[in-house]
């Protein structure tokens, strides 16, 4: 199809959508490489795709400095950084004045009201209500004084026919009658990583009026205080696209004036001090398959894209990983973003066949781990770029093993050792072992990857029954503990090993972050101890001990960490892709004269 025909078709589709682009309007067109968010209620969200969209509709207390590396937090809704008491338990906060929720029919006369301290506590209490189907109770579990007791009491009241009381007091949540912007938190114990959680989308602030007005429909009618908003429900087509528009009442925020030499060289400093956001509209298209996404980018219908592994050699030189000169001459920019990444193939530790902690079950999981050839997978599907490593702690964080290799590594391929382990499990040559159900998302080259994994397992006599499903179905199966084996990646929520080690903390079991449903009382004790410790040699030593315990029990096969490669068109300004945090779309700008 010619470029002219593509443009004509795009114009026709836009007209059919009933939302013709206004003259001079700045529109960002970007992809999300899955079927997109399942809902836009922060307490129900759990994936990076829900995070990406929620992070420009809602805001929380803290955010990451856009251009700062290493990553550093700064106030978002807060007027200043939290003040922490000497014992590390009491946090004092003060909100910015004049921040308003987006205009919406849930408010009197449709005008959004000011955000105040009680909105923060209401939003967090929603995570305690099991009726909200929260995915992130693990973020606050056992951390705020009296909050676990509040959760138990309120959910018990609901079970007995009563209502969940959001106004009931929590001893560790304190409001001040004489100052609606001030509040305090009292933690059960010191937690040096707690401030990171204040920047996570699950703790973003929502208005009670919207939740009560829309009820269960709030998941599709998000009302926040962020730079962009969902104007109409039909601007979101499930698994297809979503359109967001500039929030005209967004708080006073300006483009950062703190930047590095690389930012100055790239021209990302030029917008310093200008009011955000610059864009009028964000059009997000969801792509279950990567090839349509790449073709849309090549047709200039997307302003940036992540580069599918199978297309890597088109814009980048394999050996140097630099953007090819012909792309640079056309004004394109390439970015390599190392991820705090944990790619794995997981086991449901509650499954009757592959789960459990007996020697027989462990031998089975070890056999599968030893049979898997990650180097072959890396070379075939990731251009050999991924970092292969032992344990759940990715490169760059304390507890990552030297050169990626732990002392008691079970890294394959080691076929003879795998066969010996399988025999110890009671299945010599795979005899008597039923087919194992393996669930994975139908993303780029997923079918080919699972076929390779099948072939690797067959070398020891193990058969996999593959379930290739959309990402939303995969996550649902894992949350319901219905996936015997499964595969996806965990991107660290913040740059600290505690976040990855929390994936194996027993109380975080599904639908929490512990998708493996791994439960070891001795591990849980170490995790709680580590969570209260400040960074240092003793904390790292404990992290290594926990890492090696997980490696010994084998609740997953892995690990690998990716580097995500982006290509950006010349008309997209201020772009510095990040994956540790979302919400950076609000800093982007479009030079329509270059489009």
As assigned by CATH, the class of the 341-561 domain is alpha beta
pLDDT for 23 equals: 61
* CB-based contact 395:478 (threshold 8 Å): no
Tens of pLDDT, residue by residue over 271-281, are 999 999 999 99
Band the pLDDT of 392: cuts 50, 70, 90.
Answer: very high
pLDDT band of residue 446 (cuts 50, 70, 90) is confident
Asked if 114 and 95 touch (Cβ cutoff 8 Å), the reply is: no
pLDDT in tens, 225-270: 999 999 998 999 999 999 999 999 999 999 999 999 999 999 999 9
Which residue in the block uniquely carries the two structure tokens 């206004």? Answer: 22
Round to whole Å and give the CA distance between 472 and 468: 12
Q: What is the pLDDT of residue 445?
A: 81
Cβ neighbors of 439 (< 8 A, separation 6 or more) are: 467, 469, 474, 477, 478, 483, 484, 485, 486, 487
What's the pLDDT tens digit per position in 458-473?
999 999 999 999 888 9
Residue 41's SS3 state is coil
Rounded to a whole number of angstroms, the distance between the first and last alpha carbons of the chain is 20
22 — pLDDT class (breaks 50, 70, 90): low
Dig out the tokens for 294 from the structure.
Answer: 């790449």
Tokens describing residue 199:
């920047």
The span from the CA of 256 to the CA of 477, in Å, is: 41
pLDDT at residue 1 in the model: 35
Helix ranges (DSSP H) in 165-273: 194-197, 208-214, 261-266
Indicate the SS3 state at residue 354. Answer: coil
Predicted confidence band of residue 24 (pLDDT cuts 50, 70, 90) = confident
pLDDT for position 442: 80
Mean pLDDT of the chain: 93
Q: Where are the domains of the chain?
A: 341-561
Alpha-carbon 353 to chain mean position: 30
pLDDT greater than 80 at residue 8: no
Let me know: does 299 contact 7? Beta carbons within 8 Å: no
- pTM score: 0.86
């Amino acid at each position: 199809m010619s470029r002219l025909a593509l443009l004509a078709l795009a114009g026709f589709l836009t007209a059919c959508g009933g939302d013709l682009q206004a003259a001079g309007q700045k529109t960002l067109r970007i992809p999300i490489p899955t079927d997109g968010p399942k809902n836009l209620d922060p307490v129900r969200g759990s994936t990076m795709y829900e995070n990406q969209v929620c992070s420009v509709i809602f805001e929380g207390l803290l955010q990451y400095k856009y251009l700062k590396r290493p990553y550093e937090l700064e106030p978002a809704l807060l007027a200043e950084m939290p003040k922490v008491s000497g014992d590390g338990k009491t946090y004092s906060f003060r909100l910015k004045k004049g921040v308003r929720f987006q205009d919406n029919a849930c408010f009197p006369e449709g005008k959004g009201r000011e955000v105040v301290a009680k909105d923060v506590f209401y939003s967090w209490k929603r995570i305690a209500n099991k009726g909200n189907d929260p995915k992130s109770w693990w973020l606050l579990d056992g951390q705020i004084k009296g909050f676990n007791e509040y959760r138990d009491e309120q959910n018990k009241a609901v079970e007995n026919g009563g209502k969940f009381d959001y106004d009931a007091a929590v001893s560790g949540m304190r409001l001040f009658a004489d100052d609606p912007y001030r509040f305090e938190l009292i933690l059960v114990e010191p937690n040096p990583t707690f401030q990171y959680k204040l920047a996570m989308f699950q703790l973003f602030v929502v208005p009670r009026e919207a939740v009560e007005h829309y009820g269960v429909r709030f998941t599709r009618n998000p009302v926040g205080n962020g730079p962009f908003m969902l104007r109409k429900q039909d601007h979101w087509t499930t698994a297809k696209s979503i359109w967001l528009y500039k929030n005209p009442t967004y708080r006073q925020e300006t483009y950062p004036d703190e930047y590095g030499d690389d930012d100055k060289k790239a021209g990302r400093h030029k917008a310093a001090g200008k009011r955000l956001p610059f864009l009028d509209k964000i059009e997000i298209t969801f792509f279950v398959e990567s090839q349509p996404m790449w073709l849309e980018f090549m047709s200039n219908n997307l302003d940036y894209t992540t580069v599918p592994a199978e297309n890597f050699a088109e814009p980048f030189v394999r050996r140097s990983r630099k953007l090819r000169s012909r792309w640079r001459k056309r004004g394109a920019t390439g970015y390599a973003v190392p991820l705090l990444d944990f790619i794995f193939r997981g086991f449901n530790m509650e499954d009757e066949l592959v789960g459990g902690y007996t020697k027989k079950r462990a031998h089975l999981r070890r056999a599968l781990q030893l049979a898997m050839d990650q180097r072959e997978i890396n070379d075939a599907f990731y251009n050999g770029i991924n970092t292969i490593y032992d344990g759940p702690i990715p490169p760059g964080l304390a507890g990552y093993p030297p050169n990626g290799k732990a002392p008691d590594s079970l890294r394959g391929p080691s076929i003879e050792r795998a066969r010996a382990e399988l025999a110890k499990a009671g299945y010599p040559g795979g005899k008597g072992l039923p087919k194992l159900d393996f669930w994975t998302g139908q993303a780029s080259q997923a079918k080919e990857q699972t076929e390779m994994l099948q072939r690797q397992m067959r070398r020891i006599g193990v058969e996999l029954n593959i379930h290739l499903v959309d990402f939303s179905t995969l996550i649902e199966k894992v949350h319901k503990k219905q996936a015997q084996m499964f595969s996806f990646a965990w991107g660290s929520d913040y740059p600290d090993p505690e976040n990855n080690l929390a994936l194996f903390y027993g109380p975080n079991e599904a639908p929490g972050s512990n998708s493996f449903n791994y439960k070891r009382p001795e591990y849980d004790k170490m995790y709680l101890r580590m969570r209260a410790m400040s960074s240092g040699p003793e904390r790292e030593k404990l992290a290594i001990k926990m890492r090696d315990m997980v490696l010994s029990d084998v609740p997953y096969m892995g690990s690998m960490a990716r580097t995500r490669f982006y290509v950006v068109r010349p008309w997209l300004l201020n772009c510095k892709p990040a994956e540790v945090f979302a919400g950076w779309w609000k800093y982007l700008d479009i030079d329509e004269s270059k489009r």
